[in-house]
Amino acid sequence: MNIDETSNQYQIPIKILKEYENWGFCGTKKKVMGSWEYDDSDLENLRIIMTLHNIGFETTEIETYMKLLLGQQTTDTERLQMLEKKRIEILNEIHSQEKQLDHLDYLRYKIRSHME
């Protein structure tokens, strides 16, 4: 499947597919008439990349994660640390937003109590 077909069928932005190609993650050379042909292993890697994008990883973090994943050595510990760090960041954002909601609800309460 070429880049346009992959983008359309799997709803992956062309930008992400080009990053994937530029990072050299397409494994063996799979160029057909100047274009990459994506196989099942590429699609699995792209699924992981999309998941990382969706949970808020920056492009450089995704590249690092994928290099660890696709490297020769076992890197479970390093990748788990990256995921744990992102989880803490997301939880901190959630807690901050919960505090904002508490303040907002307090102000709403004050206005409503004056209306009665």
Q: What is the pLDDT of residue 58?
A: 95
CATH number at residue 40: 1.10.1660
Residues 1 and 42 in one domain: yes
Range of the domain at 62: 1-72
Encoded amino acid at 7, one letter: S
- Mean pLDDT, range 100-115, rounded to an integer: 96
Residues 68 and 82 in one domain: no
What's the number of domains the chain is made of? 2
- 3-61 pLDDT, tens digit per residue, is 888 889 888 888 888 888 888 776 555 665 667 788 888 889 999 999 999 999 999 99
> Which of 39, 55, 72 lies at the terminal end of a domain, its last residue?
72
pLDDT band at residue 80, thresholds of 50, 70 and 90?
very high
Residues 99 and 116 in one domain: yes
Sign, Cα dihedral of 39, 4, 36, 22: negative
Q: How far apart are the first and last CA of the chain?
A: 65
Residues 34 and 91 in one domain: no
Residues 86 and 108 in one domain: yes
Where does 1-116 have alpha helices with state H?
A: 3-10, 14-22, 40-54, 59-70, 76-115
